Amino acid sequence: MNKTLLLAKHELFTTIKRRAFIILTLAFPVLALLGLLAAQVIPGMIKPTAKVENIGYVDEVGIFNENTAQGKIDFVSFHTEEEAKGALLNGDIKEYFVIAPNYISTGLIQRYTLKNEVEPGGTTQTAIRNFLLSNLLKGNAEDIIERAKTPMNILSTTLTRTGEIASRQGGFAALILPYIFSILLMMSIFFSSGYLLQGLGEEKENRVMEILLSSVSPKQLLAGKVIGLGAAGLVQIIAWLISANFLMRMASANFGNVIGVLNISLDFWILGIIYFILGYLFLAVIMAGVGSISPTSREGQQVSTLFTIPVVIPIYFMPLIMEHPESIGVKILTFIPITAPITVIVRLGLSEIPIWELAVSILILILSIIGCFILATKLFRTYLLMYGKRPGFKEILRSFRNA
Amino acid sequence: MLSVEVNHITKTYGNRAVVNDVSFTVNQGEILGLIGPNGAGKTTTIRMIMDIIKPDSGDIKILGEKLTETSKNSIGYLPEERGLYRKLNVIDSVIYFASLKGMDNQLARTRADDLLKRVEMLAHKNKKIEELSRGMGQIIQVIVTVIHDPKLIILDEPTASLDPVNAQLLKDMMLELRNQGKSVIMSTHRMNEIEEMCDRILMINKGQVVLYGGLADIKSRFRNNSVIVECDGDLGKIEGVMQRHNQKRAIELVLDTTTTPQQLLERLIKKGIVVNRFELSTPSLNEIFIKVVGDEHEQDPAVS
């Protein structure tokens, strides 16, 4: 067998047998499953009481005297604030509010409660809103009043430039998969390149490097490690995607058919895999360079933070990317090799990405990978056998020229 | 046939030449001892032979050709900084490194069993490396070095951290390989091992070759015209003797330049002295090492 493949096979099997790898691979589906179960069980445990509750009010406008029963809440009228306060302190009502005389012009409602809370509960707010609305619109037909309570259910359709219905439609259902995929992609890239860094550090600490280099070239060693650990990352992400598919179907069945309407296009899968591979390769060769100049795996991990933080920039800016997927800033993130994989995956769920943008982005990534691979090999040759000392910036630059 | 040809190799880091114009050869079926003080450039020289470090100038041929990934398979290398995968077991480690040398797994397994049996470690073959003692780990490392039946074996400080029994085992293995026609380069600080095992030596100091040749040749070059004499009674004053150094039972007599050992023996017999032992004094490799390195040290103005 080719030596690079032998190294890759060794790295793959060593990594997937690691306890940390197994735990991490299983952690995602197990935690997600627990989350789903919790989402089903906990709301039942904290469901509001079925008992009808009383909320008092003082109407200083004089028009709020009907529709006092709103779901599980009954509104009780008081003539004065003093009366209402007395009822609250007696426990006859759970809270009360005063509708100010200038309510029509200001909308001001003064609410009094014995609870220390951030804001009124959702059920209470809805009940008060519906009570006010029903009285403001009294005299209108019942269906008009009901519509006023829920004035719209938006159903959006994305059209193509030629006016046809686009194959890729936006919305939550279309966004959720790229969102989950980008998180998984980021985690998988981090962990795979992390293993590479850790493996290099351990081999330096165990003094195995020189034995390996007596059989293979630095280029073969680097390529073998990158391929083997990339394959381990791919195993992990495939395991996650298979479990995500199963979990999302479960979630969909439980929370309305949100996921059922998902239509994941083939180009999403193809681009997802391309960007996973390119993103991983780019970060992996950087990590290899970092690993070769770091005396221990611990120091390597500290230095690697400089490169892992930029990878997650698109996650920080996700709301902006969602709102303006075609802005110049987002385009720039698409072309920067370190931010491109996550940005493209998120953008894919939101809008069409022009072919030329994808082509340029992929080309920049490939060229960056080749460039970084050449530099990492030079660092590999120079610093892999340097134990206990981290070279300075000038030394690193010199090694790029000399190696 | 030459197993190794090193021609004028130089390696510089910054302004410092770690290896400076070093040339030497290793013949088939010989053991070359590579000696020199710490930081002399021995390990850098070995790493350049192994193509782990590229020389700035000069060239190296292994078994008649420039080193390629395939010809690396003909070399067994035991580096000074050695280690194995601590979590891997003994047999898997040996097979993995053998496979990197292009060896078939089944053949590697059979040969690993034979070698483990020979070093009486077959019972440990399923143990993890981290469960072995340091010396045992080093023996496994030696097995990794020779598992693929290399034509050239390069050993950097091979007996460091080995007990005398295992050190002897290793020396026997190397002599056996030499007798099978393999070539060995052995770098060590233990001069007695060089004297015991090596056919020729190469001494490097401050990156340069300071001694190179057959062991007997070098020793005769450093002979100081003195003899070791063991006799009954007092020698008294003898013509042609410049200095006397008393040893345990014998006396070392340093002769002047006009007196030969033959003339001295005749004078002793003429004086009626009973001579029980008379031999030409040859400096040990250790003495030669100290002399050469010490002289270089004194000549270096930067050191003084």
> Which stretch, A270-284, A312-326, B18-32, B231-245, has highest mean pLDDT?
B18-32
Domain ranges of chain A: 53-149, 170-402
> Which stretch, A184-188, A225-229, B32-36, has highest mean pLDDT?
B32-36
pLDDT at A386: 66
Give per-residue pLDDT as tens, B79-101: 887 788 888 899 999 999 999 99
DSSP secondary structure letter of residue A391: P
Query: Is B122 an interface residue toward A (CB < 8 Å)?
Result: no
B120 backbone φψ class: left, alpha, beta (φ>0; ψ -120 to 50): left
pLDDT at A167: 64
Give per-residue pLDDT as tens, A200-224: 777 777 778 888 888 998 888 888 9
With cut-offs at 50, 70 and 90, classify the pLDDT of residue B303: very low
Inter-residue contact B277 to B261 (CB < 8 Å): no
Distances (CA, A) of B294 to B18, B37, B231, B301: 19, 10, 34, 13
Chain B positions in Cβ-Cβ contact with residue A215 (cut-off 8 Å): 72-73, 97, 100-101
pLDDT at B54: 86
With cut-offs at 50, 70 and 90, classify the pLDDT of residue B304: very low
Give per-residue pLDDT as tens, A125-161: 889 999 999 999 988 888 888 888 888 887 777 777 7
CB atoms A214 and B77 under 8 Å: yes
Distances (CA, A) of A317 to A306, A358, B49: 18, 20, 52
- Closest residue to B50, CB basis, from A3, A214, A220: A214
pLDDT of A75 > 60? The answer is yes
Q: Which whole number is the average pLDDT over A167-194? A: 73
Distances (CA, A) of A250 to A53, A103, A151, A269: 35, 47, 31, 21
pLDDT at B299: 59
pLDDT at B5: 94
Distances (CA, A) of A184 to A116, A188, A234, A312, B196: 40, 6, 11, 12, 62
Backbone phi and psi for residue A133, each to the nearest 5 degrees, phi listed first: -60, -45
pLDDT of A71 > 80? The answer is yes
With cut-offs at 50, 70 and 90, classify the pLDDT of residue A263: low
pLDDT of A254 > 70? The answer is no
Mean of the per-residue pLDDT values for chain A?
Answer: 82
DSSP secondary structure letter of residue B64: T
- Closest residue to A206, CB basis, from B69, B72, B85: B85
Chain A positions in Cβ-Cβ contact with residue B138 (cut-off 8 Å): none
Q: Which whole number is the average pLDDT over B283-294? A: 82
Chain A nearest-CA residue for B88: A14
- Closest residue to A208, CB basis, from B52, B54, B84: B84
Question: Can you tell me whether residue B91 is helix, strand or coil?
Answer: helix
pTM of the model: 0.72
Chain A nearest-CA residue for B73: A215
pLDDT at B302: 44
Domains of chain B: 2-215 (3.40.50.300), 224-280 (3.30.70.100)
With cut-offs at 50, 70 and 90, classify the pLDDT of residue A49: low
Distance of alpha carbon A74 from alpha carbon A56, whole angstroms: 8
Chain B nearest-CA residue for A216: B69
**What percent of chain B shows pLDDT beyond 70?**
97
**Which of B50, B52, B143, B145 to mutate: most A Cβ within 10 Å?**
B52
pLDDT of A86 > 90? The answer is yes
Higher pLDDT residue, A384 or A58?
A58
Distance of alpha carbon B49 from alpha carbon A309, whole angstroms: 41
Give per-residue pLDDT as tens, B66-76: 888 788 899 99
Give per-residue pLDDT as tens, B128-181: 998 988 888 889 999 999 999 999 999 998 888 788 888 888 899 999 999 999
Interface of A with B (CB under 8 A): 1, 3, 6-7, 10, 14, 206-208, 210-217, 220, 381, 385, 387, 403
With cut-offs at 50, 70 and 90, classify the pLDDT of residue B78: very high
Query: Is B70 an interface residue toward A (CB < 8 Å)?
Result: no
Distance of alpha carbon B182 from alpha carbon A206, whole angstroms: 29
Chain B positions in Cβ-Cβ contact with residue A207 (cut-off 8 Å): 79, 81-83
Inter-residue contact A41 to A59 (CB < 8 Å): no
With cut-offs at 50, 70 and 90, classify the pLDDT of residue A165: confident
**CATH architecture for the domain at A53-149:** 3-Layer(aba) Sandwich (3.40)
pLDDT at A156: 75
Query: Is B51 an interface residue toward A (CB < 8 Å)?
Result: yes
**What percent of chain A shows pLDDT beyond 90?**
20
pLDDT of A32 > 90? The answer is no
B51/chain A closest Cα distance in angstroms:
8
Distance of alpha carbon B256 from alpha carbon B244, whole angstroms: 12
pLDDT of B301 > 60? The answer is no
A221/chain B closest Cα distance in angstroms:
11
Query: Is B71 an interface residue toward A (CB < 8 Å)?
Result: no
